[in-house]
Structure 1
Amino acid sequence: MTFKEAVEKAKPPVNTAYKRQKDALKRDHARKISVKEGSISGSIDIDSALATIKAARQPHRWDYGLGYRAKSGAEYAVWVEVHSAETSEVTEVEKKLARLKEYLISSAPELYDLTTKRGNPIRFVWLASKGINIPKHTQEARRLRQHPELDMPRKRLELP
């Protein structure tokens, strides 16, 4: 299944949020993402899409979903949150990730399958909106290092 097909099978309004390549991302955010091999097959602004429905209007919404087509031809979903990278924001990003996973499992299972598909090199990414200020010795940094799905924030994302 392709990323586009998986988006179209999601519950409204996400099912109509598909855009080509990185077109759903703000220009500044799109510049932070590159691909070494393969390509970006499509994108969605899941934050904006979910903001249109009352049940999903809450502060913990993830920003973007990307379709990544590997050199092998396999297609995966990669989720990107552009957020300030401060120690005080770690809990907020963790909440956003938990909410995203709940949404995918209940309302977009095909997207969740592309996310958890074997071989997916990167699933959930925290991109720093500016600099990164999470000292390595802090409890929050240790928590991120031990997190099974979320790494420390990064300034750029280069897909393999």
Structure 2
Amino acid sequence: MSLKMGFKAAIAATPLLKNAYKEGLQALGSYSVKVKPTDTKKCEGSVDIDVAVKAVYPEESRWDYAIGYDGKTYFIEIHSAETSQVTPVLKKFVWLKDFLVAEASELNKENKRFYWIASGRTQILKGSVQERKLALSGIMLVGQLNL
């Protein structure tokens, strides 16, 4: 069992992501307002996974971002939060998990959290089949991510 190497080193060890690393939350662009770090000094960087791997996986449903913060890696999908979008987001999640195993083994060793950040209002009903599917997947649906 190998030790975790930290977010920045894990990104550097991932050929498809190494050139996409950005300081702070820069990789999120205008979506950085959706992430609220308690202490910006604990932010270890970010990467736009979707853009970085698009040439290699052009037809796949790709996950959006990864952020390193305080020793954890937060995988973030920013997407409209309607009931009809649960299946597409879960498809992206399956792609992400496969990608981590096949292409990003060091990043896969990091302490991980998975979040779907609603790009607008959340319109997934409490107690619905879709909400239960999401809960079982391990993805947390939030309006913004408070770190």
Do these two structures clear the TM 0.5 threshold for a shared fold by scoring above it? yes
Per the alignment, residue 82 of structure 1 pairs with 78
- CA deviation after TM superposition for structure 1 residue 136, in Å: 1.3
Match of 1:141 among 120, 127, 131: 131
1:6-85 counterparts in 2 under 5 A?
6-11=10-15, 13-27=16-30, 29-37=31-39, 39-53=42-56, 56-69=57-70, 75-85=71-81
- CA deviation after TM superposition for structure 1 residue 34, in Å: 1.2
Match of 1:104 among 100, 120, 139: 100
> What's the Cα RMSD here?
1.4
Count of residue pairs brought into register by the alignment:
142
Distance in 1 of aligned mates of 2:20 and 2:64: 12
Is 1:95 the counterpart of 2:95? The answer is no
| Structure 2 spans left out of the alignment, 5+ residues | none
One-letter amino acid of the counterpart of residue 110, structure 1: E
> Deviating runs (4+, > 4 A) in structure 1?
none
Report if aligned partners of 2:78, 2:119 keep a CA contact under 8 Å in 1. Answer: yes
Per the alignment, residue 156 of structure 1 pairs with 144
Distance in 1 of aligned mates of 2:104 and 2:12: 9
- CA deviation after TM superposition for structure 1 residue 52, in Å: 2.2
Judge which range, 135-144 or 41-50, deviates more.
135-144
SS in 2 for 1:25: helix
One-letter amino acid of the counterpart of residue 4, structure 1: K
One-letter amino acid of the counterpart of residue 36, structure 2: S
Report if aligned partners of 2:90, 2:134 keep a CA contact under 8 Å in 1. Answer: no
- CA deviation after TM superposition for structure 1 residue 106, in Å: 1.0
Identical-residue share of aligned pairs (%): 36
Report if aligned partners of 2:60, 2:95 keep a CA contact under 8 Å in 1. Answer: no
- CA deviation after TM superposition for structure 1 residue 142, in Å: 2.1
